[in-house]
Amino acid sequence: MRSDPTFWILARASGLTAYALIAVSVLAGLVLKARPFGTRVRPATVTDVHRFLALLALGAVAVHGIALVFDTTVKVDLLGLLVPGRIHYRPIWTGAGIVGAELALLIYVSFSLRKIIRVKNWRRLHWLTYAVFVLITAHGLLGGSDSGSAWARYFYLSTIGSVCFAVAWRTLTRPPARRRAAAPATPRGAIADT
């Protein structure tokens, strides 16, 4: 008797969809900071798109995990979706995907907590987005069942290339750091003018 491949196909499709959505969300974040299209791109609009793409990506990650639990090809339980290394199928690379998904969720939740955790700390936390991208790329390339296919390799390589290009663009076109005008020192004990 053959097993039904529906959940396996759903797991693969949702995993690839999640990867694409996270990559596009990263690209939207880089566009927001680099502003390659000048003033034609409104930062508020790009921020909304960035957050929405991240939410869609998390939804696709949830579908990916739930489909794996229901699939019979690889034995995955609910705890295995939360604890890296608990899934016996390519444990390092499935673990990388789990850590990447958990970090992505943390970063997404931090959007709503910016005022509480302060913007400076939120920005520091947001740097983990690059780690998320690296972890899920490793998960897909080295743990994904389709990664041996030519189309999947081209998909991953084009996505990696797009993100690397956007990072290089942002790095190379970043305006010089603003220098704060040095205020004249107020002698000790004197009252500064207000």
Does the residue 78 lie in any domain? yes
Classified as helix, coil or strand, 38 is: helix
Does the residue 138 lie in any domain? yes
Q: Count of domains in the chain?
A: 1
Determine the average pLDDT of the residues in 9-27. 95
Does the residue 186 lie in any domain? no
Does the residue 10 lie in any domain? yes
Does the residue 193 lie in any domain? no
Instruction: Identify the pLDDT of residue 46.
Output: 81
Does the residue 189 lie in any domain? no
pLDDT bucket at 171, cuts 50 / 70 / 90? confident
pLDDT in tens, 143-166: 988 888 999 999 999 999 999 999
Give the tokens for residue 163. 């993100």
pLDDT in tens, 63-85: 999 999 999 888 899 999 999 98
Residues 6+ apart with CB under 8 A from 18: 57, 58, 60, 61, 63, 64, 136
Give the tokens for residue 36. 């390659």
Per-residue burial over 155-176, b if 16 or more Cβ lie within 10 Å, else e, is bbeebeeebeebbeebeeeeee
Tell whether the model's pLDDT for residue 27 goes beyond 70. Answer: yes
Give one DSSP letter per residue of 24-76, joined into a string. HHHHHHHHHHH-TTGGGS-HHHHHHHHHHHHHHHHHHHHHHHHHHHH-SSS--
Q: Which domain does 96 fall in, by range?
A: 6-172
3-state helix, strand, coil in the chain (%, to 5): 70, 0, 30
Does the residue 179 lie in any domain? no
Instruction: Identify the pLDDT of residue 91.
Output: 93
Does the residue 161 lie in any domain? yes
